[in-house]
Amino acid sequence: MVTIATWNINSVRLRMPIVERFLKERAPDVLCLQEIKCQEHQFPYEAFARLGYEYSAVHGQKGYHGVATVGRIPLAEFSRHDWQDNGEARHVGVEIGGPGKGMILENVYVPAGGDIPDREQNAKFGQKLDFVGRMTRWADTIDRPTMIVGDFNIAPLESDVWSHKQLLKVVSHTPVEVEALQRFMDAHGWVDIGRDHIVPPERYYSWWSYRSKDWKVNDRGRRLDHMWASPELAKQAIAHSVYEECRDWEKPSDHIPLVTEFDL
């Protein structure tokens, strides 16, 4: 068995106490973090090692973005792609289980895309669509069992958002973004593991805005975080869990962890 977790932590150093709590309570074999907001030399390697997570691959930058994958089982950095095409730290890939043997695990933080869903009026939205386009061309070349996880910043299905009708023109749920994500899925035949286990139209969210005073009462969530796998790998996924309780912990991230268990 191998368990893989993903979590947009929104500053790993600020939220190390809840990361530690999660690792002690749930103990995934591998944890993929997005938005670590630190440079590589600032990452809390020692804190993770004390928790048994001695292996790591970190792609960071000063103050923004950044991704990290840590494991209590052997893993090694495999790739870094600049899908943003400007040097931002938004991806790191690792190989689990030794060179040429194990699964490839890709950890990605797709840009949010700003507020206006129009590339002519909002350059950030264009950058987001171009990012997904570069991911799509990459996905077309994959030749090994691969998993890609992280904050995709797109909620594709109607049941992935609190109100499909009200969010149709809101960045993260617009038809143009959903169509771009579908092209990415089709490029490799990815299986959306979360939706394999939490079948639509069942509610499934992974993010709630900090602006909401009581996130549980209002429940205006969106599923921005994803765990997708190559078809042959997806068949070995035996469980998928969503940890909404973490949104209630002290100084929480606005995202929650997702965990998939594989029988490899």
Residues 144-180: tens digit of each pLDDT = 999 999 999 999 999 999 999 999 999 999 999 999 9
Share of the chain above pLDDT 90, in %: 97
Structural domain containing residue 168: 2-262
pLDDT of residue 97: 83
pLDDT class of 224 with cuts at 50, 70, 90: very high
Up-side HSE of residue 42: CA atoms within 13 Å toward CB?
16
Residue 184: is its pLDDT beyond 90? yes
pLDDT of residue 226: 99
pLDDT class of 98 with cuts at 50, 70, 90: confident
53 contacts 66 by C-beta, under 8 angstroms: no
- State the chain's mean pLDDT as an integer: 97
Residue 264: is its pLDDT beyond 90? no
Q: For residue 192, which phi and psi values (nearest 5 degrees)?
A: -80, 95
* d(C-alpha 175, C-alpha 169), whole Å: 8
Q: How many domains does the chain have?
A: 1
177 dihedral zone (left: phi>0; alpha: psi -120 to 50; beta): alpha
Q: Tell me the per-residue pLDDT of 53-84, one tens digit each, with 9 for 90 and over.
A: 999 999 999 999 999 999 999 999 999 999 99
Q: Is 86 exposed, middle or buried (0-12, 13-18, 19+ CB in 10 A)?
A: exposed
CATH number of 18's domain: 3.60.10.10
pLDDT of residue 99: 78
pLDDT of residue 101: 72
* d(C-alpha 119, C-alpha 127), whole Å: 8
pLDDT of residue 39: 98
pLDDT of residue 48: 98
pLDDT class of 102 with cuts at 50, 70, 90: confident
Structure tokens at 128: 């987001």
Q: For residue 221, which phi and psi values (nearest 5 degrees)?
A: -95, 170
Residue 100: is its pLDDT beyond 80? no
Residue 18: is its pLDDT beyond 90? yes
As beta bridge partners, residue 225 has 151
Q: What is the pTM of this model?
A: 0.98
